[in-house]
Chain A
Amino acid sequence: MPTIAVDAMGGDHAPLEVVKGAAAISLETQIDVVLVGDEQHIQAVLDRVQYRPERLQVRHTDQLIGMAEEPHAAVRAKPRASLLMAVQLVAMGEADAVVTAGNTGAAVLACARYFRPLPGIRRAALASVYPRQTEYPGQDQLALLLDVGATIRCEATELVQFAVMGSAYARRISKVPSPRVGLLNMGAEANKGGDTFVEAYRRLGSIPGVNFVGNIEGHELLKGKADVIVTEGFTGNVVLKLLEGVADILSELVGAAARESWRYRFGLRVLESGVERLRSLTDYTAYGGAPILGFEHLLIKAHGRSEARAISNAIKVAAKAVRDGVVGEIQASLESR
């Protein structure tokens, strides 16, 4: 079974929720976890939860990178930060993948610093998953969006590489034999979006093994037209935050309506199961995390607000990615291009 290094100090609710998530994994699965962080804080949480000590290793470090810290400066100033130590453990072969809910920028920089890029890869891509409609039976309820912030501006070659990597990842993780790949753009036509996107469109159409379905517009993001949506980091990040914001607002509106009148409360009561389903679909804790792609090892980035369940799921995603040979699949796809 794979060994997953977990940044115990990363995230808004670290180390409490991270350690609780890892403890749950030690009881439910055969996955070995290395918790990297302040030993005393970690043990203080473990003392209060059920866990299997045989499957949990603790590596102590006294430094951590905060969520609001400037990534470059933090990575330079804190060589023993829990995130960097966790990434190093994987680079040294003591663990197979990393999970962090910590500072995203620092996570990307840590990967760039300690992991070797895959042959031919110019830039890394940070992926994210989000719920959407499905169009055919067996289609995954989650779509993969990349890049969401690792590479702010991209060239056509990089967008093509993102498409190949995302397609390989979805093939292994979502078990979709031929995932549909779309290019997020401002129009469906091939000549939209400027030189970079026009060139990327042209090249994606002729790559064997990539099921390119053309450009995807904003209103199609939540439909099942594509399983993998490729874009540059700037746009991807805006889209991701917009989706999260909409989900939060919806949930808030429902609550506000319920507070306003007993009739709304009654209506919501009637629609309870539907509202619950909607909530579960937009619940990021169920999806765990998404990978940083482009390196010889995997880092799964969980949401900064992750609680125990999300961390557990992120560890499961990391273990599954290792077990299913996601990196090997990506490498093979890149070589066969």
Chain B
Amino acid sequence: MLCTGRKVERPSPIVYRWDLDKTYLRSEFDRFRDLVKIPFEKPEDKVTVPGVVTLIRNLRRVARQQKREVRVYFISASPPQIAKAIKEKLALDGTEYEGITFKNQLQHIMRARFRNLREQVGYKLTVLLRQRAEFPQEAREVLFGDDWESDPVIYSLYADILAGKLRAEELPRVLDLLGVDPELASEACSLAATVEPVDAVERIYINLERGSPPGLFEPFGPRLIPAFNYFQSASCLYQDQHLDLDGVAEVAQSVMAEAGLSPTHLANALADICRRGYLHPHVRDTLAMELARRQLLPPPLRHGVLARLREWVRRQTRRVAPLPRLLPPHQPRIDYIQLVTHWRERHSAPNNSQQRREL
């Protein structure tokens, strides 16, 4: 059963684009020691983020059921030298994909552009724009990233370039502010100039792997959903008709098993994403009921004096429950100059835990 939300007249192709590290794989590169270890990791040693494999499998299944062309792409900032291990890992997981891009670090070393080794914005933006040219014009996109580097900025820029919401003179300034290599910036601007405007990006999901405060992402508008786990993402994807109830249930099961969460923890996560305004309360209630039926969320109380008392307390809280937080119905225009300035200020000292804990 699908929830009734936006109506799709004719299913257009759907493209799911995933960042790899910290979004699909639980890569550890907080310390230099971890970073050095990555190239030597065997495929079976690599760990996925809880629920991600099940989510991708179900996104494909539902798209096929909807008779929709579906494509899954991965973008990695890792060098091609570790491609073999990553492809083997994806095969081990049974994750089907249409393409995977690695960053040619060797090229930067050869050209003595060491600054570009850690640079993400120019690299990812050009890859996204180049690949877009290969998709059908009507293809819709859902992007998945994390809060570790600059995925929210990159994906939002890409979405607004596609939608024609970014003024021609704005992009070079933003890329300059972000410290993008001039050559890459110029390539990104040329690619952006060739794009046929289409509002193709439906949603951007940011996996809060680093635990960033969710309010940090408010300036990106309601198109970007910061999610603490893939159960929260799956719930929103259900709301947008990319998943069905079976799909959400499977993701819930995976998250529980892989992250060691209980039904109560899942219920809390569901309430959280609704409270933050990304999930409609009706959808939350439908999910809560169905998942409780499948014993994935705590069951509703039925009998006994205690149950009646609990129900009374629930009624009291429901009676006075505030209106759900209303996010703007449409994606507002983002002032990238201001956003990037603030984003860099806040993101430049991420290892200061006190600063991260509280904005």
Is the pairing of A and B real?
Answer: yes
Residues of A within 8 A of B (CB): 20, 23-24, 27, 32, 38-40, 43, 46-62, 79-80, 85, 88-89, 92-94
* B317 and A61 within 8 A (CB): yes
Q: A27-B211, A54-B228 are in contact. Are A88 and B321 (CB under 8 A)?
A: no
Which of B273, B276, B309, B325 meets A92, CB within 8 Å? B309
* B215 and A48 within 8 A (CB): yes
Q: A43-B275, A43-B276, A48-B359 are in contact. Are A54 and B317 (CB under 8 A)?
A: no
| B336 → A minimal CB distance (Å) | 22
* A92 and B313 within 8 A (CB): yes
Q: How far is the CA of A173 from the CA of B106 in the complex (A)?
A: 59
Q: How far is the CA of A320 from the CA of B343 in the complex (A)?
A: 40
Instruction: Write out the residue numbers on chain A whose beta carbons fall within 8 Å of the beta carbon of B345.
Output: none
| A315 → B minimal CB distance (Å) | 16
Instruction: Write out the residue numbers on chain B whose beta carbons fall within 8 Å of the beta carbon of A51.
Output: 211, 213
Q: How far is the CA of A56 from the CA of B273 in the complex (A)?
A: 12
Q: A43-B276, A50-B213, A93-B306 are in contact. Are A55 and B357 (CB under 8 A)?
A: no
| B322 → A minimal CB distance (Å) | 5
Q: What are the nearest 5 A-B pairs in CB distance?
A: A47-B215, A53-B272, A54-B265, A62-B320, A50-B357
Instruction: Write out the residue numbers on chain B whose beta carbons fall within 8 Å of the beta carbon of A47.
Output: 213-215, 218, 276
Is B78's beta carbon under 8 Å from chain A? Answer: no
* A40 and B322 within 8 A (CB): yes
* A43 and B325 within 8 A (CB): yes
Is B310's beta carbon under 8 Å from chain A? Answer: yes
Instruction: Write out the residue numbers on chain B whose beta carbons fall within 8 Å of the beta carbon of A39.
Output: 275, 321-322
* B268 and A55 within 8 A (CB): yes
Which of A32, A49, A79 meets B213, CB within 8 Å? A49
Q: How far is the CA of A311 from the CA of B317 in the complex (A)?
A: 24
Is B316's beta carbon under 8 Å from chain A? Answer: yes
* B272 and A80 within 8 A (CB): no
Instruction: Write out the residue numbers on chain A whose beta carbons fall within 8 Å of the beta carbon of B9.
Output: none
Instruction: Write out the residue numbers on chain B whose beta carbons fall within 8 Å of the beta carbon of A62.
Output: 320, 322
* A57 and B271 within 8 A (CB): yes
Q: How far is the CA of A89 from the CA of B306 in the complex (A)?
A: 11
Q: A61-B320, A62-B320 are in contact. Are A49 and B357 (CB under 8 A)?
A: yes
Instruction: Write out the residue numbers on chain B whose beta carbons fall within 8 Å of the beta carbon of A53.
Output: 228, 232, 268-269, 271-273
| B301 → A minimal CB distance (Å) | 10
Of A24, A52, A58, which is in contact with the most chain B CB atoms at under 10 Å from its CB?
A52
Is B266's beta carbon under 8 Å from chain A? Answer: yes
Q: How far is the CA of A102 from the CA of B213 in the complex (A)?
A: 27
Instruction: Write out the residue numbers on chain A whose beta carbons fall within 8 Å of the beta carbon of B213.
Output: 46-51
Instruction: Write out the residue numbers on chain B whose beta carbons fall within 8 Å of the beta carbon of A40.
Output: 322, 325
**Can you offer 21 A-B residue contacts whose CB atoms are under 8 A?**
A24-B357, A32-B265, A39-B322, A43-B276, A46-B213, A48-B215, A49-B357, A49-B358, A52-B228, A54-B266, A54-B268, A55-B268, A56-B268, A56-B272, A58-B271, A60-B321, A60-B322, A61-B317, A79-B316, A80-B320, A92-B309
Instruction: Write out the residue numbers on chain A whose beta carbons fall within 8 Å of the beta carbon of B357.
Output: 23-24, 27, 49-50
Which of A20, A43, A59, A60 meets B358, CB within 8 Å? A20
Instruction: Write out the residue numbers on chain B whose beta carbons fall within 8 Å of the beta carbon of A80.
Output: 316-317, 320
Q: How far is the CA of A324 from the CA of B84 in the complex (A)?
A: 51
User: Which residues of chain B in 239-266 are interfacial with respect to chain A, using CB atoms and an 8 Å cutoff?
Assistant: 261, 264-266
Besides A60-B320, A60-B322, A62-B320, 14 other CB < 8 A contacts? A27-B357, A32-B265, A43-B276, A47-B218, A48-B213, A48-B359, A50-B212, A50-B213, A53-B268, A54-B265, A55-B265, A56-B268, A58-B271, A61-B320
| B207 → A minimal CB distance (Å) | 13
Instruction: Write out the residue numbers on chain B whose beta carbons fall within 8 Å of the beta carbon of A43.
Output: 275-276, 325
* A54 and B269 within 8 A (CB): yes
Q: How far is the CA of A248 from the CA of B263 in the complex (A)?
A: 47
Is B229's beta carbon under 8 Å from chain A? Answer: yes
* B358 and A48 within 8 A (CB): yes
| A53 → B minimal CB distance (Å) | 4
Q: How far is the CA of A272 from the CA of B91 in the complex (A)?
A: 61
